Amino acid sequence: MDSLFAKADAIRPLGKRRKVSHSQEKGSKDHSNSDTTLQSVTKHTSLPKSLQPSGSTEKAPAYSHIANKKLRTKLNRNSAHAAQSKALLEDAELLLMDEPGKMEVEGEMERTWRVGQSEIALQAGQEAAKGRREWRLDGGPYRSRYTRNGRHLAIIGRTGHAATFDWQTGLLHTELQLQETCRDITFLHDHSHFAVAQKKYVFIYDRDGVELHCLKSHIEPTRLEFLPYHWLLASVGNAGYLKYQDTSTGQLLVEHRTKLGSCTTMAQNLHNAVIHLGHQNGCVTLWTPNLPHPAVQLLAHLGPVVSCSIDPSQGGRYMATAGRDGTVKVWDCRNWKGAVRDWNVRGGGGIELEWSAKGSLAVASGGSVNVYTRPTIHSPMQTKNQPPLYLTHPIPHRPLVSLRFAPFQDVLTIGHAAGLTSILVPGSGEPNFDSTEADPFENRKARREKEVKALLDKIQPDMISLDPEFVGSLAPPSKLTTTTTFDGKPAVEIPFSRLPRLERLKVQGKADETELTDEDGEGMDGTGDSGKKQSREEREKRKMRGKGKSLKRYLRKQRKNVIDPAAVAIRAKLEKQKEEKKRAMIIAAGGDEPRKPSALDRFRQTR
């Protein structure tokens, strides 16, 4: 009531003003008009620690001994900022829990897979519930792909309907009707460019849907993958060729012939950028750009391999494969002796697999999607028992052809014949993102800076290997070394594999020393080996000798407008050997050894 009277007392006519007494002291305050209910509540309440204004627990060091006022102020400000950041970091550790949040049941008889999507959407937060969506589209079945920051989504229908949009705000970037069979779609370095595997070739479009490139070297592609740290677009097709295209320079880097027929299954290991292919004979092969043969070849199933996925949460250690025989197997990439776990699924051979950022495995088979979580999915099991089910969701629209987890979101997007469906999978996404790697809230300027930095930090394709830890380590000492001497330098021990070709032939005793003889085969005065005068015809005839040697043929094949380091080195070596032979002939004839010209020759007196 006191507060109501105080408010009523404040509303008075403008002509009549309240008399204010200044008899009270400046430091005293009148609390007669304060709300007594508010005062009674504030005495017994307090803000949480995370919401309280953080003060530095440690006293910041003072720099009162510094005479320069500007420098002293700057140092005090920096020390206060460091102490405050340390206190904020300690508060943040309370929010970053080690265990990710998941659905938990209260009783022993209850199960998480009995909870439906409607109940999850009601219990989840308002922003998280927006991930539960349904897109009804014609032209399916549809495949989808997210950007690295999880903000943009690209979809492609079997009949040629393609679209890219911001799925959180609903902003449509482009929509195309390609009017031909399309098999896969993927974003490149960001949402400004995307590639589509169409009926005959791979096409690259920009964000507005304008066709930029037609990659005619990629014939009848079936699957696409983009390596973000190497700027490589990998494709595999019906011809059975795995091809790498450098999107920064535009050149075709390498193409590998798998020799295993048509391939419709491809996955990328985000940890080491190795491409995993599943073939029709049940084999799974692992490929790198620097090897013409598969690094690992594994017989995984008795029938064709229909799906493959690699777990990103464990550093690429676990791989899941599904076969046409209706089995799902989990493999340990550090040991290929046998499957860690395998079980049978119902619903036919059309199985799709996908790992989430937190290690949840989604399996789509028949008309339902099942989700399994770790650690049970990684636990070895001798029997073919199905792991404990975490979540299930029925979808009547068959076939289910695509599964994609949204980065940094607990959302699973399922592509089927009637469009796409997004369901909520609590605990499947990574909650903490690194803004230097993938920022969901980046603006145009940040995206441009990130693109330039990614080009500067581009990794060479030769560094892709099964074990990425070899970078920066010391090379083991070679067991086979050869003591050789180059150009009069001291003898050194060099491994046989690193020797030049001519030096290797010399060590093996197969070198043809006639290739390195002088082309003219004559002295400076036109005399031959016998010391007699030779006619011009004889000299020209001797000059043509040796033109059919392998080294000469190699040098003739090199075009003059192309600078080849190997050809330049060979020509320089031949010129040097020619000069040495001429010098030896002059000395043998009794002449003085020719002296190299010097810059001081200009001061010599001429006779």
Structure tokens at 348: 């036919």
Q: What is the DSSP letter of 388?
A: P
What residues does 152 pair with on adjacent strands?
Answer: 166
Close Cβ partners of 115 (under 8 Å, ≥ 6 residues apart): 103, 391
Please report, for the chain, how many H helices and E strands are present, in that order: 10, 30
User: How far is 362 from 255, CA to CA, in rounded Å?
Assistant: 32
- What pLDDT is attached to residue 201? 95
Integer Rg of the chain from CA: 37
Helix (H) or strand (E) holding 138, with range, is none
Q: Mark 486-508 as b/e (b = at least 16 C-beta within 10 Å).
A: eeeeeeeebeeeebeeebbeeee
User: How far is 562 from 396, CA to CA, in rounded Å?
Assistant: 61
- What pLDDT is attached to residue 175? 95
Q: Quick check: 373 and 102 in contact, CB under 8 A?
A: yes
Whether the pTM exceeds 0.85: the reply is: no
Structure tokens at 217: 């070297």
Close Cβ partners of 183 (under 8 Å, ≥ 6 residues apart): 143, 156, 158, 197, 198, 221, 222, 223
- Concatenate the DSSP letters of all residues of 304-338 into one string: -EEEEEE-TTTTS-EEEEEETTSEEEEEETTEEEE
What residues does 335 pair with on adjacent strands?
Answer: 332
Give the residue among 378, 307, 304, 317 at the shortest CA–CA distance from 342: 378
- Concatenate the DSSP letters of all residues of 449-500 into one string: HHHHHHHHTPPPGGG--S-GGGTTSPPPPPS-EEEE--TTPPPEEEEGGGS-
- What pLDDT is attached to residue 16? 47
Residues in the chain: 607
C-alpha distances in Å from residue 339, one per residue of 299, 370, 417: 11, 20, 32
Residues of the chain under the 70 pLDDT cut: 1-59, 95-100, 478-480, 484-489, 512-564, 606-607
- Largest distance between two CA atoms of the chain: 137
DSSP, collapsed to helix, strand or coil, labels residue 187 as strand
Q: Quick check: 117 and 85 in contact, CB under 8 A?
A: no
DSSP, collapsed to helix, strand or coil, labels residue 571 as helix
Structure tokens at 265: 């299954």
